[in-house]
Amino acid sequence: MPSFIQVFDKGAERILGTDPKLDLLLEDKECPFAHEAGVYIPGDNSLFITSNQYPHPIAGTPHIHISRIQLPLGVDSKEVQCTRVESDNVPMPNGGVNYKEGVLFCAQGTLDEPGGIFYMPLSSVRRNPLDTSSDAYEARLLVSSFHGRSFNSPNDVAVHSDGSIWFTDPIYGWEQGIRPSPRLPNQVYRYDPATGGIRAIADSFGRPNGICFSPDETIVYITDTEWIHGDGGTDDTRASSIYAVDIATYSGQPFLINRRLFAMADTGIPDGIKCDMHGNVYSGCGDGLNIWSPGGVLLAKVLVGGGVANFCFGKGGQVFLLNEHRLWRLQLAKGCNGALLGL
C-alpha cells in the first residue's frame, strides 16, 4: 500500500482495492476554500463546497463562500475549474447535501440574520458571459427556527427517503462570535417539508456535527465534536466520537432508540460522515479520512496532512476530500460506492 494508507484490518482490502491513489486537484494558499458541504452532482460531474471562515476582502468581517468545482472528465486528468457561487441570501453556509434538483445548505447565520436550511435549485443559475469566474444562484429558506426560537448555527444535513430533512445544530456560531447567545440546546432536528413540521429528534450532545444514514436507513450516525469548542480550545476528555442510533417508528413517526458509541476518532474530531453501499462508515478526521466497518472496527486511514473536514463520494470509487486550502481526489476500489447516491 502507498505511504498515505494505514491498514488496521483486512476488511479494508475490498474498499481500498489494489491501487489506491491520492491526487491534488486544486490549491489556494490564500483562502480556505475547501472546508464543508462536498455535494457531488453526477449530471455534470461537478462539486459544490463551502469555505471556512476568512475575512471578507472588502468589509473585513467573517465571511464564507460557496464554490462550484467542475471536475476532471478522466481518472488521470487533474484539470478542474473553480467558479465562485454568488448566493448572498445564504448567511455563512456550512454543510450541504443533494436535494431534489439542487442542493440543501446549512446556513449558520450571522449576528443579524438567523441561520437555517436553504434550498438552492441548480436551475436557478444565472451566468454572466462577461464574468466566467462567478455564477449567481437563488436559494430559498425552508426553515429557520424551532417554533419561533432561532437555531444556533446549523452545521450538517441529511435527507431521508421519506422526504424529511435531518440536521445538526451546535452552538459553534455563538462561540465564534458570528451568532447571538443560543436560545436552544445542542440538538438534532427533523424537518418535514410536506407539513412544515419541525421536531427535536435527538439531544444530549456536546456539539452535534456530522450526520448521515446507513444504506437501509435503519440507523442514523451523528458525530459529537465537543473535543473542540468554537474558540479553538480543546479538551481530550470531551467527546470526539460517532454515535449510532436506531430509527424506530411509533404512531407513524420516527423516534431514535438504542443510542450507542460507534467509534472514537483518535486524532482531532470526526467531522463530515458518510456510508458506502456496504454500510462501512467514513469520517473526515484530524489526520485524514478514517474508515470503520458497520461493526465499528477501524479498517483504514487515508492520511492527509492537516486533516479532512468533509468529503463526498463521486463515481467509480472516487472520493473528494476537503482539506481547507486543498481539494484532493482519492481513488478507492471501483466498486466502492457511496450510499447517498449509490454511484
Does a structural domain hold residue 10?
A: yes
pTM over 0.95: yes
The alpha carbon of 2 is separated from its chain's Cα centroid by a whole number of angstroms, namely 27
Enclosing domain of residue 18: 5-331
| CATH code of the domain containing 46 | 2.120.10.30
C-alpha cell at 7: 491498514
- Below-50 pLDDT ranges, the chain: none
Q: What is the pLDDT of residues 176-200, one digit of tens each?
A: 999 999 999 999 999 999 999 999 9
Does a structural domain hold residue 263?
A: yes
**For 76, what's the count of Cα atoms within 13 Å in the CB-facing half-sphere?**
0
Does a structural domain hold residue 47?
A: yes
Does a structural domain hold residue 342?
A: no
Does a structural domain hold residue 83?
A: yes
**Count of domains for the chain:** 1
Does a structural domain hold residue 64?
A: yes
**294 and 302 Cβ atoms separated by less than 8 Å:** no
Residue 10: how many CB atoms within 10 A of its CB? 8
pLDDT score, position 56: 87
Does a structural domain hold residue 341?
A: no
Does a structural domain hold residue 157?
A: yes
